[in-house]
Amino acid sequence: MKPNFFHKNLKYQFLCVSILVIFLSTAFFVLSFYFVISKVEISSATRLLDTALKTAWAEFYNDPKQLQGILVEASQRTEIKDAITESGQEKLHSTITNWQEAYPHVNFWTILDAQGKVLCNTNSSHYQKWHLHYLLEKLTETSPALISTELVPASVLKEENPHLFCEAEIPVQNLQNNFTDALINVVVTPVLDKEHKIIGYLSGGFLLNDNTLIPENYTKKIPHTYLSIGVKGIRITSNIKTTDLYRPIGSLQETELIEHTSRGEQYRGVMYVNGKKSLIASDPIKNCTGEVIGKLGVGAPVDLLTNFKRNGIKAFLLLAFVILCIATFFTNKLSSITLKPIYQLKKIAHDVTNEVVVPEKITWSNEKTPTEISELAYTIISMAQALKQKESEAQTYAQELSDEKAKLEIKVQERTHELAHTVAELETANQYKSQFLANMSHELRTPLISIIGFAQLLADEVAGKINTSQRRYTKFILSSANQLLEMINDILDLIKVEQNKDKLRLDYFPLPKLIKHSLCLFEGELKKKDLQVSIDVEADLPQPFWDMKKIKQVLANLLSNAIKFTPQNGAINVAAAQQQDKILIKVQDTGIGIKPENHQRVFLAFEQAESSYTRQFQGTGLGLSISKKLVELHGGQIWLESEVDKGTTLYVLIPIMPIPHIKKGGK
């Protein structure tokens, strides 16, 4: 039974589907809007902090840059140059007094001679001394002025040392009682004579402790955000306002912010400022030597950004709800106009299907129907008429197709019979070929063994002494006969595997011991070519349930190839490791390698990577082919990886229990 929804009328379904589509579309746009707002929020927060930090730095250096212009202009006046040259205290004091009156926001002034001795400075009843001597060393005849931010620690402020500190002074009343370290912006410019030699220095500066101009100007440009300047983790000026007794100036800054900026890094994070969660960005303040002496930070409450997102989402949801209601109303009206003629088309289709009416007699007349539906109706009527005609034609075609099918079946049967006959002939020919090779190999093997035996007797001088030439010829006979015997044995092994006469005799045995025994068979050849052999067998390797004789033959074939194709002083590695329920054996050499196009070819019978008659390395080309069939007989697989002139690696992967149902010993 279908759900009750599908038993409703079409108008109801149309209305529900329309509402569902509108609802899903609205939900999609709401989620998209929320995602966009979130992205905009992150982007806006980043841009706001970047802008705020740039504005804070601009205000930080605004007054020093203006002071730089004032001092550069003053350093070019003749009367000041003359007063410095003549050490005119009265003239210099008058100059500083005029500067104090003209620029009251500058906290201190100093005039020095070429050696850095203070000629005149700001007068006050209480003074704090600040470090200026090493700044003068950075000025040259070509330097217009130097702006630097300097830290004046309490120990320096309380000591008087004429060799290290000049007589520039900072009013004590401008320092807060709850901290004594001072941060100052210093401007120093050289005074040059006609020959462009330094004859003195002009200096002025601003105390940043409890400075009100910087935070006020910053707040005017970027309201509702925070600014804070700190020294050694203590705020010395800020625009943060509180309603309780907590005072931002003199308070401790956050540990995480201090750690980042103390390392000379910019900090960005979220902290609570005045009880509000805020986004914070802070830069280190460095002196002219690059040492971090303070922090300049800005921040903004998170709710400035989240309020915009919340209001935007509420407005969008309200708009979406209104659109949903309007769309539902118009969908209902549209369904009434659209579905009525569809019902008429449904009745016509029903009558044609049940043969109540002949297609030629169907008519359509509905002036109020939309043009598209009228066209659809005429198309359906034409289709019904064409369908009637096609039906009669289809019956004729069906009969013709049935006749052709019968003929085709007869042809298929004939071809199948011919193919089966051909396959039988090929199988017979293959059996004859295998039988011929087997018989021929047996027939060749018997006299060949006799030849080897008698040749060995001659070599052992059983029948009498032989001369050097005869001994050499006998050696050639033995070598060629043994090579021919090996070829015949390989052919017999291949025939056994192909005819399924070679059965597995499975038993448990230690694989490491078999690997070492296989290597011993080639000890003479290894020493002859001075090949280095290494064995890497995984510890606790389980004993496999394999046919030991056949696996030994596989290892012998792989090692024989590795030794044959590895040049003098090469290396061979034999490794074995467990991979889940299988064991992977790897034989790696540093031989001549195999070209990529021959990687599959070497596993074919009577094939080698080099197939020409003049190939350098002798052999039947059956070793890897037999190995492949023996490995596959165990349910495993064999493959290789090779690169020309760099060596070859052969892999054998066999299940530990290849055929669980065979009893121990192959019985």
Report the relative pairing of strands 234-238 and 226-231 from DSSP bridges: antiparallel
pLDDT at 651: 95
The type of residue at 546 is W
Q: Distance (Å, rounded) from C-alpha 462 to C-alpha 469?
A: 17
pLDDT of residue 167: 39
Residue 296 binned pLDDT confidence (cut-offs 50, 70, 90): very high
pLDDT band with cut points at 50, 70 and 90 for residue 2? very low
45 CB burial (10 A radius; 0-12, 13-18, 19+): middle
Distance between CA 47 and CA 305 in Å, rounded?
Answer: 12
Q: Which residue has the higher pLDDT, 353 or 548?
A: 548
Summarised one tens digit per residue, pLDDT across range 300-318 is: 887 665 555 555 566 666 7
DSSP-assigned letters across all residues of 516-566: HHHHHTTHHHHHHHT-EEEEEE-TTPPPPEE-HHHHHHHHHHHHHHHHHTS
pLDDT reading at 514 higher than 80? yes
| Domain boundary pick from 207, 224, 249 | 207
Instruction: Look at residue 358 and tell me whether its pLDDT is greater than 70.
Output: no
Q: What is the mean pLDDT of residues 110-126?
A: 74
Domain of residue 152: give its range: 76-207
So what's the pLDDT on residue 37?
52
Q: Which tens digits make up the pLDDT trace of 9-31?
A: 555 555 566 666 666 766 666 66
Q: How confident is the model at residue 193 (pLDDT cuts 50, 70, 90)?
A: confident
Flag whether pLDDT at 545 surpasses 70.
yes
Average pLDDT over residues 336-352: 67
Q: Using alpha carbons only, give the angle 68, 70, 75 rounded to the nearest 5 degrees.
A: 95
Q: Is residue 429 part of a domain?
A: no
Positive or negative, the CA dihedral 285, 287, 288, 290 is negative
Is-contact 587 571, C-beta < 8 A?
no
Residue 457 is assigned to a structural domain of this protein: no
| Cα of 601 vs its chain's centroid, Å | 39
- Do the Cβ atoms of 26 and 20 come closer than 8 Å? no
Residue 554 has pLDDT above 80, yes or no: yes
pLDDT value at 502 more than 70: no
pTM over 0.75: no
- Among 468, 478, 484, 552, CA closest to 517: 552
* pLDDT confidence of residue 587: 94
**What DSSP string describes 187-228?**
EEEEEE-TTS-EEEEEEEEEE-TT--HHHHHHHHHSTT-EEE
Distance from the Cα of residue 43 to its chain's centroid: 24
Tell me, what's the pLDDT at 279? Answer: 85
The mean pLDDT of the chain is: 76
- Contact partners, residue 502, CB within 8 Å, separation at least 6: 493, 496, 550, 633
- For residue 41, the model assigns a pLDDT of 54
Q: When comparing pLDDT for 509 and 626, which is higher? A: 509
Q: Does position 277 have pLDDT exceeding 70, yes or no? A: yes
pLDDT at 174 over 70: no
Rounded to whole angstroms, the Cα distance separating 349 from 420 reads: 54
Coil/strand/helix, residue 169? strand
Per residue in 559-601, pLDDT (tens digit) is: 988 998 999 999 999 999 999 999 999 999 999 988 888 877 7
Burial pattern 413-437, b for ≥16 Cβ within 10 A else e, equals eeeeeeeeeeeeeeeeeeeeebeeb
Spatial CA neighbour of 229 closest among 296, 135, 157, 281: 296
- Whether 653 is in a domain gets the answer yes
- Residue 203: give its domain's CATH number: 3.30.450.20
* Segment 37-64, tens digit of pLDDT: 555 555 667 788 888 899 999 999 999 9
- Supply the pLDDT for residue 183: 86
The answer to whether position 588 is within a domain reads yes
Count of other CB atoms within 10 angstroms of residue 267:
20
Q: Which of 207, 222, 254 is the last residue of a domain?
A: 207
pLDDT tens track for 403-440: 888 888 898 988 888 888 888 877 776 665 666 665 66
Number of domains in the chain: 2
297 exposure class (CB count in 10 Å sphere: 0-12, 13-18, 19+)? buried
147 backbone dihedrals φ, ψ, rounded to 5°: -110, 125
How long is the chain? 667
- Count the helices and strands in the chain (H runs, E runs): 14, 19
Residues 6 or more apart whose CB falls under 8 angstroms from that of 577 comprise: 537, 538, 541, 583, 584
CB-based contacts of 477, cutoff 8 Å, min separation 6: 451, 455
- Give mean pLDDT, residues 150-165: 54
CATH, residue 652: 3.30.565.10
pLDDT over 80 at 636, yes or no: yes
Residue 363 lies in a domain: no
User: Is the pLDDT reported for residue 362 higher than 60?
Assistant: yes
The token duo for 462 is 């059983």
The pLDDT, as a whole number, for residue 246 is 46
Four-CA torsion 141, 142, 147, 149, nearest 10 degrees: -60
Note the pLDDT of residue 139. Answer: 72
Specify if 569 maps to a domain: yes
Q: Is the pLDDT of residue 441 over 80?
A: no
Percentage of residues of the chain with pLDDT beyond 70: 67
Query: 458 falls in which pLDDT band (50, 70, 90)?
Result: confident
**Pairing assessment for the beta strands 571-579 and 532-537 based on DSSP bridges:** parallel
Residue range 473-489: mean pLDDT, rounded: 73
Weakest mean pLDDT among 158-167, 236-245, 385-394: 158-167
Residues with Cβ within 8 Å of residue 186, at least 6 apart in sequence: 64, 130, 132, 135, 146, 147, 148, 149, 150, 203, 204, 205
What pLDDT does 475 receive? 78
- How do the residues of the chain divide into helix, strand and coil, expressed in percent and rounded to 5? 50, 20, 30
pLDDT higher than threshold 70 for residue 664: no
Q: Would you state the pLDDT for residue 57?
A: 94
Tell me what pLDDT residue 471 has. Answer: 79
Going edge to edge, which strands form the sheet with 532-537? 532-537, 571-579, 582-589, 647-655, 637-643
Which residues does 10 contact at the CB level (< 8 Å), separation at least 6?
Answer: 339, 342, 343
Residue 39 located in a structural domain: no
Q: What is residue 567's three-state secondary structure?
A: coil
Binning pLDDT at 50, 70 and 90, where does residue 611 land? very low
Task: Work out the average pLDDT over 121-128.
Answer: 49
Mean pLDDT in residue range 236-259:
72
pLDDT over threshold 80, residue 158: no
Cα-based distances in Å from 458 to 392, 478, 635? 97, 10, 47
Residue 166 lies in a domain: yes
User: Of 207, 227, 248, which residue sits at a domain end?
Assistant: 207
CA angle 235-61-246, nearest 5°?
20
* Mean of pLDDT values over 601-612: 61
- Residue 169: the pLDDT is 42
pLDDT at 165: 35
Residue 239 in contact with residue 264, Cβ under 8 Å? no
Higher pLDDT, 580 or 396: 580
Of 43 and 545, the structure prediction assigns the larger pLDDT to: 545
Of 51-65, 248-262, 597-611, which range is least confident? 597-611
Higher-confidence residue of 187 and 347: namely 187
- What value does the mean pLDDT take over residues 616-633? 74
Tokens 């690169």 found at? 643
Residue 487 confidence (pLDDT):
66
